[in-house]
Structure 1
Amino acid sequence: MSNTVDNPFFARLWTVMSAHETDAIRELRRQNLAGLTGRVLEVGAGTGTNFEFYPDTVSEVVAVEPERRLAEQAQQAAATARVPVTVRTDTVEQFMAAGNQPFDAVVCSLVLCSVEDPENVLRQLLSLLRPGGELRYLEHIAGSGARARLQRIADATVWPRLLGNCHTHRHTEDSIVAAGFEVADARREWTMPRWAPLPVAEVAIGRAVRPADPHID
């Protein structure tokens, strides 16, 4: 049984933001999904912004979005996607607890900043992947210097309350490795000018792999 999230302010805000994403962010979304094949789990689908970028080598996308208003929009986006997409209103924690068949890939786009326990979620996502399966991530990350101080202030005050529990100063790349993934490709990109006084101007984009089971030849 699903348990939807009711966050009307964030749903309205994210709907506007996702409808006005910059070309740079849309291109990063496309790059993050390029080359995927098989069965894919997308965590935190939002309004379904990623759906149009899935290559036709993907056989199925199971998209998890617990905020009911966003899930309704994601379902509309799924109807026009060129690959089969099923939208579910579970939280990612509930979805993982239910037990599911292994996936060929997991996609996380601007979502690991908002889960309560990212390390635990990443360990469970690892378990949902077949050996050799991929985690594709596009995530806000902790900066350094003045931006790090700005991020810590934002996280301790209004930012998580306004932006759906988003925490900007998370060392997500370290968490991915600590969960047991092997990072195969990663880089950082600026989605806004470096001088912009915003805590989410920089993102990490990468591909991490679940290692093969050492007991299987």
Structure 2
Amino acid sequence: MLSLRSFNRLMWGLYVLTAVVHIGALLQQVDSLARASQPLFAPLLLGALLTAVPMRSRTVSLLSLGLLCAWAGDTLGQVGPQHMQTIAALGFLGALTCYALALWPLWLRSRDPLRIMLAIPYGAVVIALFVACADGAGPLLPLVVLYAVALTAMAFLSVGGNGWTWMGGTLFLLSSSLLGMDWFLPGASIAYSTELVMLTYTVGHGLLIAGMIRTLPGRSDGRHCSSGAALVIVEP
């Protein structure tokens, strides 16, 4: 029988394998395999989270809810009708909101001035992209506004965790920026845009969840990691 640690490693291994298969399917234009593999991302990350941190807390609950929202976005985003695409976007909006709320206490406890200064340009990037893409958003403009706010908040707050969450938030921002340009920016042409979106999304999502796990007490490996030299984060 597998221990929690072994099962956790299995979940991470399957996640990496699924991501590689998905990117490969996109490159080879095997649409059926790409569609079948994408809905597996969030459940595998959820399995990795729950086997790494058996203890329940506010952060674990928020991350779990965020992953469920991401699963809805990954799954419904592949369905054709426009209203399903909107529901998928709402799913990702919910995921970003949950992740931002989970990151907020870490940011309050570890406000590194240098990291904050480096993260400020994130807002400028999102504002510039929003201005460029607003005309092409059409009736989805209110949703795009909400998504831009949630994305900026999540990316900015990700600097308060550790290097893993910081990199994960940055790649999430890059993935959504590429997707927004592909969808809403008239005349934009990015080679391998779909593959780049999914590559940055899968790597960023994995790093964000892994980084959050490293900040939590009660991990199955018994170690705690934090963004500061002497910072220990304890949750009720």
- TM-score, length of structure 1 as denominator length: 0.33
More helix by proportion, 1 or 2?
2
- TM-score, length of structure 2 as denominator length: 0.31
More strand by proportion, 1 or 2?
1
Q: Which has the larger radius of gyration?
A: 2
